[in-house]
Amino acid sequence: MSTGARIYTQHARGQPHCELDHTLKGKGCEKRGEVRLHGLLLCESHARRLEAQERVDLLRGIVSCLELSLSNLALRRDTNLAGHLRAERAGAARELELAYQELRQAVI
């Protein structure tokens, strides 16, 4: 079954371990690899963590781009466009906060 870049795998004997090289404790992860993500076989918790971090990174970029657009004097003069950009930035900032919450939950 595939969800986006995620591919769930089923292995018979010789269950391979998560391919995350190092944990915060300096060791490799000893959990069973279940999800193939970006070419790595990861355990479910590391796959969730990686996906959550990628979402945070993407949304931080979106918020930054919207803030940069709003700093453009010519764009600020167009009140309709500026209002639209402010609304988009507010929505992206809310999504970013949710993504940070998901990341914190994935780390637990």
Phi, psi angles (nearest 5°) of residue 2: -120, 135
The pLDDT value given to residue 7: 54
CA–CA distance, 53 with 50 (Å, rounded to integer): 5
| pLDDT band, residue 76 (cuts 50/70/90) | confident
Per the model's pLDDT, the better-predicted residue between 88 and 106 turns out to be 88
Kindly tell me if the per-residue pLDDT of 22 is higher than 50. Answer: yes
CA–CA distance, 54 with 59 (Å, rounded to integer): 9
Per DSSP, the three-state class of 8 is strand
Domain residue limits at 78: 2-107
Number of domains in the chain: 1
Per the model's pLDDT, the better-predicted residue between 18 and 62 turns out to be 62
